[in-house]
Structure 1
Amino acid sequence: MADWDFASVFEAVSRVFPERVALVHGDRRTTWAELDANASALAGALGDAGLRPGDVVAEYLRNGPEYIEAFYAASKAALAPMNTNYRYVDDELVQIWTDADVKAVVYAAEFRDRVARVRDRVPSVRAWIEVGGDGYAPGWVTPYSEALAHTPRPHGGGSADSLILIYTGGTTGQPKGVMWRQADILSLLNSQNAAPLPDHGDTAAIERHLREKSRELRALTASPLMHGAGLFFTIAALSAGSTIVTLTGTSFSAEELLDTAERERVASLAIVGDAFARPLLAALDAEPGRWDLSSLRLVFSSGVMWSSEVKSGLLKHLPRVRLLDGLGSSEASAVASTVSTAGNVADTATFRPSDRAAILLDDGTLAEPGDGRVGRLAVTGWIPVGYLNDPEKSARTFVEAAGRRWSVPGDLATLEADGTIRLLGRGSGVINTGGEKVFAEEVEEVLKKHPAVADAAVVGVPDDRLGRKVVALVEADGEEPSIEELRAHARSMLAGYKVPREIGFVETVGRGANGKLDHRALTALAEERWGRA
């Protein structure tokens, strides 16, 4: 969309619909005028702290109005907003904030103790802005309420160079920052819009379009804003003038989601595959007449397992709803999708590719329908600039082939005779568990730091709710430690979702002479022991 940034589009919406509700969070209501004013003031606070165009602002927050206000503010100030996984522990935070050379962190008061421990290890940060809290704040903290009292900073207009950083667990063991141009994300999302915004002209053209086409719909983002799927869903909805609804709980509750969707008359909903869909189905099965969801028209998920049997169950309760299952990642968004409706449920892991997608073969050619050849899923067109500070990984992932530049994150797939994509999985040691990426080698190395562990192998096994769960096979060095001791050890150094859900002891993990593990054999052993649960 030309060279606009997020702020250009959001400001157009706020001018057209100043009194329309933009954000709903529990009992809180934020109009578009209030959202714009808060973002302008926060942009002023960031500028007053010494941040300059191109600097990075990290958001260490759960879903809520402040996440969107800070995101909007960064764009207004020509800064790069950056996500932060709120499950990360100290070393993980230091790693990504140092890698991104972060200049400001907007964080929730619940994380103050962790921030206090790491702040001296991230000397690049000039502003620590705390959301919430009990009224007391140390001298190094800027309370969010004080930040909103700053003189508003005017938006200088869109820039072709405005970026957003999306840190992803990736396949290298350390999170990597995926650099997107804001204009490319807007163009990508706009291409999927039923009533797309004009892709040329000035913001007055956007305003005219919104007056003619925008409907006051409500979209509930249950999936985390700290991940690309939830964030992109939210950007798309806001760009169309819709209202974003977020949940107030700190952990997922199917009942809270259903209560909120009913109360707010939600039209669309973003979830995290089976991790959210199974509890939702269980709640609907237990009390089928409890919730009036007649306003709901679309449920969306992307990047995580959403099984056909769960979709079928949901559609029995929601026969008028479309279930949109997207295939994509932080590096390659909107690659393919399936739509399931009552009486027409798509097979698990089968997708209809977008016109930008292909299967890239090892010889640099593109697969033909029905040729049976396994290749890597690739997408062209609007794709990231690359990985921050990692030219080698950028060169491996963003490649030239067939006269185009492609994003090739590593998912293996085949192109079926009917033109659908059959996803086979990722060829690297990444376990996708409940929408989170876990690098097996990282967990193995942490386990091996325990004095009673000689070696360890970590694999993923099927799980009905999470898609896959993290399982560790441990080779003890003498007396076996307790399972809880190992979990506590891992939890002290890793985010909770990386801690193995199952741990078992083996005589040997069976490393070959080259030091490599036979992950296929180890996975089979783990599946035999624990199977699907």
Structure 2
Amino acid sequence: MSTTARSFNLADLFESVASAVPARTAIVSEERRLTYQQLDERATRLASCWQAQGIGRNDHIGLQLRNGSEYMECMLAAYKLRAVPININFHYVEGELAYLYQDADMVALVTHQSFAARVAQVTPDIEALRLVYVVADGSGKEGNADYLDYESALAGGAADRTFPPRDSDDIYIVYTGGTTGMPKGVMWHHRDIFFAAMGGGDVQQTEGPITAPEQLVERIGDEPLVILPTPPFMHAAAQWSAFTALLSGGKIVIPSRGKFIAEDIWQAVNDEGVSMMVIVGDAMANPLIDCLAVHPERWDTSALLVVASGGALFSPATKERLLALTPGTMILDGLGSSETGLMGSKVSARGAPDDDEPRFMVNPHMTVLDEDNQSISPGSGKMGYLARKGHVPIGYYNAPEKSAATFVVVDGERWAIPGDLATVLADGSIFLHGRGSVSINTGGEKVFPEEVESRVKEHDDILDVVVVGLDDERYGEKVVVVCQTRSGEAMSLEHLREFCRSRLANYKMPREVVCLAAIKRSPAGKADYPWAKQAALEALE
């Protein structure tokens, strides 16, 4: 088989890597260990099975799966056929699933057995959805008698790569829930998502992106990148990190299917020599830190070079605790979104100065635009919207109005503007204020929840926190802290305000505090602002 990729299509790129390093380990999971050759064969068999069922170019295949090798097999199989995998939040209830199945125009679905009964409540009303494959997980739950067994279907497919030629402009879609509203499917061309979010053939960021598909295998190093994504693959960051590994000859480590268990994660770091762990802020960092602090000598973490985080607050205090326990590790805060890919980063290391501020060095495709879509000058202090040009999405699937609002053309160049407010500092770095849709307008001043959350998290007794704005007769909105304490005891507003007094301007100070037994977050650890706002309203009634 040829090791030359014919295009920047993700299947073409993967197949070139699989042909170049067939004996390398590609995926380690609870269920199986797969070399690149074995992963490619399983994906090819699955694609052949789907092809025989009439699935082909631009058909949408839903993946309602916990993390496991099957997720990657399905994504690769779809791309081999020029079909499009659709990520589905496995926590969704029937109404949410019905919306997503319908909005995404899915013709097939792959789901774990434990979700089959819920799926069966929805599928009869989705006319386009004609095939459902079930991955056994030992749950014993029943779905519909017409559902097909995943492993049997895969085993019955041909192992030869006999598929039509693919193209760099084939479609990649990732559905994102964001902070408000129903989920939206962000559409990318394969070429653009590869360069915007999957390394672009320059994983070490030393040589620059590749300029031709055949160069990819030339970049495969002797020491493979070993990535452990802790968020579910249904989230963009986890998908991107997994493909970054696969398209560089690296290894993906999946410690426990669909579950965040700190002991299992550290054991996988120890056993597999994980060099990069992907997390989502404090929500994932804290239990990992607490576990490691109790068992400081139990696991060898010396191979762990990078802990990469994005999508939620990773507070300075939490970083300090992690760096103290893993002194050879650096922390990489990533700046990005489903609509932009990876835009920039900030590095923290033990003993290195850290300004504790959300300042990011960004790539040359990034800028900050004002309300007239004009670039803001560095050092001006003017706030605007973070924007990306170059490799950007096509738009939102089935949502032309939302697409027009987010993806705009300025002076002949197309920009993605997802709504993050920022300023450009004198050195060209970006100071990120936060997403405008969740900012709080109090007394005419704008307060960004993440800034307050970061300062509140410096309190030793605060385990988790989400900050929201509630209506206020005097100020328009007031800052409300919704938190979970380590002690389990309620925290008084007076005490919290006194703690924050030297850390926050007066208009940013909490005016209410609500202590709860637990903070609800997305499976990837992102803040659920609508939930927090409702919880605060109910608690303060």
> Normalising by the residue count of structure 2, what TM-score does the alignment of the two structures yield?
0.78
Which residue is equivalent to 1:146?
152
Residue aligned with 2:303, SS: coil
In the TM superposition, residue 20 of structure 1 has moved relative to its aligned partner by: 1.3
Deviating more after overlay: 218-227 vs 63-72: 218-227
Choose the corresponding residue for 2:269, options 261, 272, 281.
Answer: 261
Choose the corresponding residue for 1:368, options 368, 377, 380.
Answer: 377
Output one character per residue of 1:39-90: Cα deviation in whole Å (capped at 9) or x when no partner: 0111112112221211111111111100000000000011011111111111
Q: Distance in 2 between matches of 1:43 and 1:291?
A: 39
Q: Distance in 2 between matches of 1:66 and 1:27?
A: 10
Q: Distance in 2 between matches of 1:197 and 1:420?
A: 20
Choose the corresponding residue for 2:217, options 181, 202, 207.
Answer: 207
Output one character per residue of 1:306-340: Cα deviation in whole Å (capped at 9) or x when no partner: 11111121111222212111111100111221011
Q: Is 1:291 the counterpart of 2:299 in the alignment? A: yes
Structure 2 counterpart of 1:407, one-letter code = A
Q: Distance in 2 between matches of 1:460 and 1:56?
A: 42
Structure 1: gaps of 5 or more residues: 445-456, 466-483, 488-494, 507-525
Residue aligned with 2:264, SS: helix
Structure 2 counterpart of 1:151, one-letter code = A
Choose the corresponding residue for 1:422, options 431, 435, 451.
Answer: 431
Q: Distance in 2 between matches of 1:12 and 1:505?
A: 54
Which residue is equivalent to 2:134?
130
Structure 1 counterpart of 2:232, one-letter code = P
Q: Distance in 1 between matches of 2:79 and 2:231?
A: 22
Residue aligned with 2:224, SS: coil
Note if contact 1:2-1:199 (Cα within 8 Å) is conserved in structure 2. Answer: no
Distance 1:358 1:289, change over 3 A: same
Residue aligned with 1:428, SS: helix
Which residue is equivalent to 2:507?
none
Q: Distance in 2 between matches of 1:407 and 1:348?
A: 24
Residue aligned with 2:232, SS: coil
Structure 1 counterpart of 2:153, one-letter code = A
Distance 1:228 1:464, change over 3 A: farther
Q: Distance in 1 between matches of 2:434 and 2:385?
A: 10
Which residue is equivalent to 2:178?
170
Q: Distance in 2 between matches of 1:91 and 1:364?
A: 38
Q: Is 1:276 the counterpart of 2:305 in the alignment? A: no
The percent identity for this pair of structures is 36
Choose the corresponding residue for 2:346, options 295, 316, 338.
Answer: 338
Which residue is equivalent to 2:56?
52
Which residue is equivalent to 2:493?
none
Note if contact 1:307-1:348 (Cα within 8 Å) is conserved in structure 2. Answer: no
In the TM superposition, residue 232 of structure 1 has moved relative to its aligned partner by: 0.6
Which residue is equivalent to 1:14?
18
Note if contact 1:365-1:402 (Cα within 8 Å) is conserved in structure 2. Answer: no
Q: Distance in 2 between matches of 1:380 and 1:137?
A: 45
Q: Distance in 2 between matches of 1:116 and 1:354?
A: 45
Q: Is 1:380 the counterpart of 2:389 in the alignment? A: yes
Q: Distance in 2 between matches of 1:174 and 1:106?
A: 22
Q: 1:168-207 to 2 correspondence within 5 Å? A: 168-170=176-178, 173-188=181-196, 189-191=198-200, 192-194=202-204, 199-201=210-212, 203=214, 205-207=215-217
Note if contact 1:197-1:209 (Cα within 8 Å) is conserved in structure 2. Answer: no
Note if contact 1:274-1:464 (Cα within 8 Å) is conserved in structure 2. Answer: no
Note if contact 1:2-1:183 (Cα within 8 Å) is conserved in structure 2. Answer: no
Which residue is equivalent to 1:61?
65
Structure 2 counterpart of 1:81, one-letter code = P
Q: Distance in 2 between matches of 1:232 and 1:217?
A: 14
Q: Distance in 2 between matches of 1:324 and 1:207?
A: 26
In the TM superposition, residue 147 of structure 1 has moved relative to its aligned partner by: 1.4
Structure 1 counterpart of 2:368, one-letter code = I
Q: Distance in 2 between matches of 1:463 and 1:357?
A: 34
Which residue is equivalent to 1:409?
418
What is the total number of aligned residue pairs between the two structures? Answer: 463
In the TM superposition, residue 462 of structure 1 has moved relative to its aligned partner by: 6.0
Output one character per residue of 1:483-516: Cα deviation in whole Å (capped at 9) or x when no partner: x9xx9xxxxxxx999655973567xxxxxxxxxx
Structure 1 counterpart of 2:149, one-letter code = P
Which residue is equivalent to 1:300?
308
In the TM superposition, residue 408 of structure 1 has moved relative to its aligned partner by: 0.4
Residue aligned with 1:259, SS: helix
Distance 1:143 1:401, change over 3 A: same
Choose the corresponding residue for 1:29, options 26, 30, 33.
Answer: 33
Distance 1:402 1:290, change over 3 A: farther
Choose the corresponding residue for 1:392, options 401, 410, 413.
Answer: 401
> Normalising by the residue count of structure 1, what TM-score does the alignment of the two structures yield?
0.79
Which residue is equivalent to 2:259?
251
In the TM superposition, residue 216 of structure 1 has moved relative to its aligned partner by: 2.9
Structure 2 counterpart of 1:141, one-letter code = Y
Distance 1:46 1:277, change over 3 A: same
Note if contact 2:385-2:421 (Cα within 8 Å) is conserved in structure 1. Answer: yes
Q: Distance in 1 between matches of 2:222 and 2:162?
A: 26
